[in-house]
């Protein structure tokens, strides 16, 4: 039995590994390494493009942390590689991007039953088992085929944060600590700015020149989770101070107080030669990024290794197209996986790829489907993407989509109960899928 997987990103790589390990002949199609989408530049599979962070690892206090644990217990290959390539980032799971993609590629190429085909796919044969994991920047020909066969595509805009050189940061104007942690310890470089400096920065940011968009990008629909910092600033003078520039819990050892506002930098790699400006996705022109962001004293001489960019992401209208296991209602052997389904985020994409692979495997073996249900985060995401919704938008892992637990006013206890219920369900599913 041959299975086609279209796209070698996080979801496609996860699905490919699972199905290859189950013994199927897998054809993995990708335009790499001969061509790239506007957001990609690494020849390897599993490239991370927006951030190097896979978010919180708090299993019982954060929905994404719980999702990661669900997937690890299910045997996620991609998350196992993430743990092998992690870099310090407080309670978040951040990875060395280059090493991460390299190890993903090595893992996939370790199979003799995987064929790697470098070419653009423009149409799907629905009679063949197929997982479409082409991501939010699906190539034009396949995008048109999807639009014609499934529904009109929806879209939103995603933005990437800049990266600065570690040795260009003025550490005399910065301090190191995690939020509410002790000064001198932690994985974040904090760059404070006083009230007058913030006023000047705010004025410069809200009047700075933005990069011109292509004609098809003019009707901007921005997803909240990746909102450009300049658009966020338009909501009010203090909006950033309650968002990416939140000073709460960051005590400057030079003053003994929280700053008026504070930018955080996070390591991009183990060696600390590169730092990501946390939460600063942007569509400013490159020259304006350097001018405006360098107004923070710690970045006055910053060398920008990568400027922020903004691009259009496409996703299908899941409620009309998908079942909760990410299979296509009209074509049972065809699945979608990754952000094109309407899940938003790296870990969410990995999860959809794993669920699609598990479900397709059992379908081909004529085994009963596994029901993840909305007691698990990954099951709740599948149900969200397939349930009718008049305002369907991409969805992150969050407790709001999970089935409620017994009434309690203790939020910490509620999250813990949800986590325990989820992992108990995942344990049952893991035992079932490992039988064959």
Per-residue pLDDT tens digits for 235-245: 999 999 999 99
> Helix, strand, or coil here: 149?
helix
pLDDT at res. 33 = 80
Backbone φ and ψ for 340, nearest 5 degrees, come out as -65, -15
Report pLDDT digits (tens) over 106-159. 999 999 999 999 999 999 999 999 999 998 778 888 988 998 888 666 677 667
Question: What is the rounded average pLDDT of the residues 268-288?
Answer: 88
- The DSSP annotation for 210-223 comes to BPPPPGGG-S--B-
pLDDT at res. 221 = 61
pLDDT at res. 77 = 98
- Provide the pairing of β-strand 331-336 with 327-328: antiparallel
Nearest-angstrom CA–CA distance, 122 and 125 = 10
For the chain, list the domains and their CATH numbers.
2-153+316-433 (3.50.50.60), 163-312 (2.40.30)
pLDDT at res. 201 = 98
Report pLDDT digits (tens) over 314-340. 889 999 999 999 999 999 999 999 999
Question: What is the rounded average pLDDT of the residues 58-71?
Answer: 95
Provide the H-helix boundaries in 275-386.
286-293, 318-321, 346-364, 377-386
Task: Using alpha carbons, select from 260, 96, 248 the residue that is nearest to residue 177.
Answer: 248
Q: Find the length of the chain.
A: 436
The pLDDT of residue 408 is above 50? yes
C-alpha angle 98-104-106 in degrees, rounded to nearest 5:
100
Lowest-confidence segment of 267-281, 316-330, 341-355 by average pLDDT: 267-281
Report pLDDT digits (tens) over 177-186. 888 876 666 7
Q: Which residues contact 349 (CB under 8 A, 6 or more apart)?
A: 9, 10, 11, 135, 337, 338, 339, 343
Q: How far is CA 376 from the centre of its chain?
A: 19
The proportion of the chain whose per-residue pLDDT surpasses 70, expressed as a percent, equals 92
> Helix, strand, or coil here: 193?
strand
Task: Using alpha carbons, select from 169, 194, 189, 164 the residue that is nearest to residue 179.
Answer: 189
Dihedral-angle region of residue 387 (phi above 0 means left; psi in -120 to 50 means alpha; beta otherwise): beta
What's the pTM value of the predicted model, to 2 decimals?
A: 0.79
Per-residue pLDDT band for 36 (boundaries 50, 70, 90) equals low
H or E segment to which residue 109 belongs? helix 97-109
CB 90, CB 51: distance < 8 Å: no
pLDDT at res. 216 = 47
Task: Using alpha carbons, select from 159, 187, 119, 127 the residue that is nearest to residue 2.
Answer: 127
Q: Which residue has the higher pLDDT, 140 or 282?
A: 282
Per-residue pLDDT band for 1 (boundaries 50, 70, 90) equals confident
Nearest-angstrom CA–CA distance, 381 and 396 = 8
The proportion of the chain whose per-residue pLDDT surpasses 90, expressed as a percent, equals 68
* Both tokens assigned to 378: 């990954």
The pLDDT of residue 37 is above 80? no
CB 301, CB 168: distance < 8 Å: yes
Rg (CA), the chain: 22
């Amino acid at each position: 039995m041959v299975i086609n997987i279209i796209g070698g990103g996080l979801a496609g790589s996860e699905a490919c590994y699972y199905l290859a390990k189950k013994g199927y002949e897998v054809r993995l199609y990708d335009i790499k390494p001969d061509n790239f989408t506007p957001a990609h530049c690494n020849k390897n599979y599993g490239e991370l493009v927006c951030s190097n962070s896979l978010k919180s690892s708090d299993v019982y206090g954060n929905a994404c942390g719980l999702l990661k644990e669900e997937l690890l217990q299910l045997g996620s290959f991609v998350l196992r590689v993430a743990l092998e390539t992690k870099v310090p980032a407080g309670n978040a799971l951040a990875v060395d991007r280059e090493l991460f993609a390299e190890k993903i590629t090595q893992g996939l190429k370790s199979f003799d039953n995987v064929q790697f085909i470098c070419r653009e796919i423009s149409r799907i044969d629905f009679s063949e088992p197929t997982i479409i994991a082409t991501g939010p920047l699906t190539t034009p020909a396949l995008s048109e085929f999807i639009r014609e066969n499934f529904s009109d595509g929806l879209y939103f805009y995603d933005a990437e944060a800049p990266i600065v050189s570690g040795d260009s940061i003025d550490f005399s104007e910065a301090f190191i600590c995690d939020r509410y942690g002790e000064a001198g310890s932690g994985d974040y470089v904090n760059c404070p700015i006083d009230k007058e400096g913030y006023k000047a920065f705010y004025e410069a940011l809200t009047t700075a020149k933005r990069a011109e968009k292509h004609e098809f990008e003019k009707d901007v629909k921005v997803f909240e989770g990746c909102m450009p910092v300049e658009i966020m600033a338009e909501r009010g003078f203090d909006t950033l101070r309650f968002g990416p520039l939140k000073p709460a819990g960051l005590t400057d050892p030079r003053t003994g107080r929280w700053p008026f506002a504070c930018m955080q930098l996070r390591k991009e790699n183990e060696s600390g030669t590169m730092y990501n400006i946390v939460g600063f996705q942007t569509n400013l022109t490159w020259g304006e990024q350097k001018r405006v962001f360098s107004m923070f004293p710690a970045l006055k001489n910053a060398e920008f290794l990568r400027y922020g960019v903004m691009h259009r992401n496409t996703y299908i209208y899941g409620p009309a197209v998908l079942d909760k296991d990410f299979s296509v209602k009209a074509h049972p052997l065809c699945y979608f996986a990754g952000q094109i389904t309407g899940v938003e985020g790296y870990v969410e994409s990995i999860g959809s790829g794993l669920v699609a692979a598990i479900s397709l495997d059992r379908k081909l073996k004529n085994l009963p489907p596994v029901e993840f249900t909305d007691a698990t985060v990954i099951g709740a995401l599948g149900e969200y993407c397939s349930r009718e919704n008049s305002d369907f938008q991409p969805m992150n892992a969050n407790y709001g989509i999970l089935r409620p637990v017994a009434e309690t006013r203790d939020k910490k206890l509620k999250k813990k109960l949800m986590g325990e219920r989820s992992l108990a369900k995942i344990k049952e599913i893991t035992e079932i899928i490992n039988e064959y």
